Structure 1
Amino acid sequence: MSVPDGLVSISGRSNVTNCIKCKGVNGVPAVFIRKDDPPLCKTCFLSGCVHKFRSAFGKANIVRNRDAVALAFSGGASSLAMLQLAKMCHSTSQARKLRFQPTVICLYDVGQPYPHKQEEAMKVVGFDYRIVRTDEIPLDKNEGDFVDQLSASTALTNSALTAAEETLRWRRLKQLVLYTSRSLGHRFLLVGDNASQLAAQCLAGIAQGRGGSVAAELDFADTRFTDVTILRPMFNFLANEVVLFLRYAGLDAVIEPTLSLEQTLARGPGVNSIQRLTQDFISSLQFAGFPSTTKAVLR
């Protein structure tokens, strides 16, 4: 998603001359997140993002000072924004900085190139980090066999692709949880799921008959795992907020998050999954005059 220079009006408004917070002290308005939101300048927008990220931890009151947490980093836009916001919230210039101790985890699959670009991004932030190959984290063999069979398939059906994407998503989450608890000994895992992604996962889960687990997948804290609590500090950020934050912070996503199954998609260009269809459905409503679509789904 590209953002033009000058006044950014995602929902078509461009007739407001002052930032609603600083009244023009820090610059001209540059951001309209939704049609019914007030305009913000770049400085106030970035400050608002930091406040939103930090307040997610404050409201939940789960992570204490000096608690060790694992931060999952794939190199995609949302995880990069989470990494940068964690750095900004640890800055000494912040009056109410977060005081947990993060260790960044980057996983990569067997047969995939070593994530050099992700490593560079993690070094810049300055947190401790670990780069782990997924075959070093033991999982149920049946899960791996199922994914391998689908990846080797010459053609995919809609239902097969839906099942494969869901299996891959859960396998990666379980790998992160296992590494967090067994190798690091941490009790908290931060993941970068944003509001737009969570809304799509919500509808996709209901469509697949998993409505009973939807509530746990949408909240800030997910306590379904025994040893690790999954935290989603980006759960209040829309996808376009993430893009704008990276733009104004001077960052570019290292990669778009990829899965090994992606190689098979070219073999069946007409194949679609429930996850992709729900994401397209929500995005089309969000940007077609219904700016509260994502928030309504999450409520």
Structure 2
Amino acid sequence: MCEVEESGCQDLKREEPASRIGQTCMKCKEASAVLIIRVGDAFCRSCFREYFVHKFRAMLGKNRVVFPGEKVLLSYSGGASSSAMIQQVQEGLSRDASKKLRFIPGILFIDEGAVCGQTWEDRERVMLEMKSILKATSFPFHILSLEQIFSLSGSVLQGNLPEVPGREENYKQAVGSFLGQQREQEEDGISDATERLAQIHTADNTSAECSQSPTFIRPPAEHTTALRDMINSARTLTAKQELLHSLRSHLILHVARTLGYSKVMSGESCTRLAVRLLSNISLGRGAFLALDTGFADNRYRDVVIVRPMREYSLKEISFYNRLFNVSSVFIPALDTKASNSSIQLLSESFITKLQADFPSTVSTVYRTSEKLHVSRTDATLQQSQRERCLLCMCTLDTHTGPASAFSATQVSQQLSEKKSSQRVIPAKDSGKQCCSGGQCCEETACCTNSVTGTRDMAPLLCYSCRLTVKDLNSIDKLPSYIIKEAEHRTR
């Protein structure tokens, strides 16, 4: 990581704290510094606020992904990063903002208390606290429970939806058209076009499910039990976290499509993305690093995931929330006080400890992820020929040549397994030989390996999701929309 001599590293990471006392702001050169972000980067309160706000709006303006008047769903988890993101959106939509944001926001919070074993009373207490925080934003918000994944249809896994062409070229035209509509509405006596659009959006969603509802609908007990059984069926904490991430993404995508949101803002920080980059490489997701850690994730085609907080470190976000009283809620997660470690937790521990000694660790890993892109040739091939994974909905990375490492792994696995299709089991009700010759007759009870079996579902999954499903005791505990989609694609 560091190529200088060991003595130089020791001098770098053990600076004398006395030299930092009484520093002035590096920007205004007048006020006293109240915090130091990196080595030598001292800011006063007002300059740090200006720096924080400018970085957020510059990230959106530089990438030109969110169009004026577009509906954007803010994914809120209650943590520090997503709370700071909502605060920035709220300030950017105010009247006195210098570089005003012009999209229509909505907030989504997904309750995952059933996964952590919380009682309904504890979950309801958390959701009431969330409602009081989200209601203060004056944005339309939606509070759902993770159990609703058992009510989804197979349409959420459709990955061949058309993408809007030429959006980058028409960005300036869209801005000009929006400003023209704003001037026309101001002449008609409407002071703010964005405000009017937000009012219309709020009025359209007053009857929407779970939108600003004073009470919360308790999910069916069988759905809660099924969710806990599915998560507990994973033998490792790594598989549990990956499965939970995929199911959460499916529910967010369903809400965005149902309510007409074309963009989803996620609050991952630079530190979180650096941890994800290392953990995803360990999990075999190297082909999807550009989608998992990039600014825009367009794997769903019609809904784009945007990460505007990816330039902020967790230290910067924590300082901002503390200085400007941005409230956040601590909610126990699946890995809170976990007795066994996972690949994600080990990667986080490695990054955090290395960052404590070498302050440029997170930025170095993060800058590496910025250089990752999908080549145009591969993108065209993925869009036209390849299918998409059932869980992560990325294009399959298993179409490799016979001399690849993946093919060698498959051959080794096939030789070490005893396939059930090679057995000859006599049928109970007839004189036929069932499951002989690799063909299943599907007429008797001896055919236990259906199209939803692990062996038959594997071709529908990417390499990383195959490892996740392999750690499940039974895939029958997966939501019905995944199993039905697997049957549909197999047929």
What is the TM-score when the length of structure 2 is the normalising length? 0.52
1:193 paired residue among 261, 268, 271: 268
1:85 paired residue among 83, 88, 109: 88
Q: What SS does the corresponding residue of 2:141 show, helix, strand or coil?
A: strand
After superposition, what is the alpha-carbon deviation per residue over 1:2-52, rounded to whole angstroms, capped at 9, x for unaligned?
A: xxxxxxxx995614521111222xx420121112x5210111111111111
Give the Å deviation of 1:88: 1.4
1:166 aligns with 2:242: yes
Contact 1:31–1:40 (CA under 8 A) maintained in structure 2: yes
CA distance in 2, matches of 1:57, 1:281: 31
Structure 2 gaps, min length 5: 1-14, 155-222, 369-491
Partner of 2:79: 76
What is the TM-score when the length of structure 1 is the normalising length? 0.84
Contact 1:16–1:39 (CA under 8 A) maintained in structure 2: no
After superposition, what is the alpha-carbon deviation per residue over 1:125-177, rounded to whole angstroms, capped at 9, x for unaligned?
A: 22111112233344589xx9996336446xx86xx101101111121122111
2:253 paired residue among 143, 153, 177: 177
After superposition, what is the alpha-carbon deviation per residue over 1:45-100, rounded to whole angstroms, capped at 9, x for unaligned?
A: 11111111111110111111111100011111111111111111112221111111
Report the CA distance shift for 1:146/1:274 in structure 2 as closer, same or farther (over 3 A).
farther
1:18 aligns with 2:24: yes
Superposition map of 1:103-252 within 5 A: 103-109=106-112, 112=120, 113-114=123-124, 115-137=127-149, 138-139=151-152, 148-149=228-229, 151-152=231-232, 160-182=236-258, 184-252=259-327
Contact 1:20–1:38 (CA under 8 A) maintained in structure 2: yes
CA distance in 1, matches of 2:77, 2:243: 18
1:297 aligns with 2:300: no
Partner of 1:101: 104
Contact 1:46–1:248 (CA under 8 A) maintained in structure 2: no
After superposition, what is the alpha-carbon deviation per residue over 1:101-140, rounded to whole angstroms, capped at 9, x for unaligned?
A: 1001111145651311111111112211111223334458
Report the CA distance shift for 1:292/1:215 in structure 2 as closer, same or farther (over 3 A).
same
Report the CA distance shift for 1:31/1:62 in structure 2 as closer, same or farther (over 3 A).
same
Q: What SS does the corresponding residue of 2:330 show, helix, strand or coil?
A: coil
Partner of 2:411: none
Partner of 1:39: 42
CA distance in 2, matches of 1:11, 1:204: 34
1:66 aligns with 2:69: yes
Report the CA distance shift for 1:239/1:140 in structure 2 as closer, same or farther (over 3 A).
farther
2:347 paired residue among 278, 282, 286: 278
Contact 1:147–1:168 (CA under 8 A) maintained in structure 2: no
CA distance in 1, matches of 2:62, 2:232: 46
CA distance in 2, matches of 1:46, 1:204: 32
CA distance in 2, matches of 1:196, 1:152: 29
CA distance in 1, matches of 2:16, 2:35: 10
Root-mean-square deviation (Å): 2.5
Contact 2:80–2:317 (CA under 8 A) maintained in structure 1: yes
Structure with bigger RCO (C-alpha 8 Å, 6+ apart): 1
Between the aligned residues of both structures, percent identity stands at 31
Q: What SS does the corresponding residue of 1:243 show, helix, strand or coil?
A: helix
Amino acid in the other structure paired with 1:294: V
Amino acid in the other structure paired with 1:275: Q
Amino acid in the other structure paired with 1:163: A
Structure 1 or 2, whichever has the larger Rg, is 2
Structure 1 gaps, min length 5: 1-9
Count of matched residue pairs: 273
Contact 2:33–2:43 (CA under 8 A) maintained in structure 1: yes
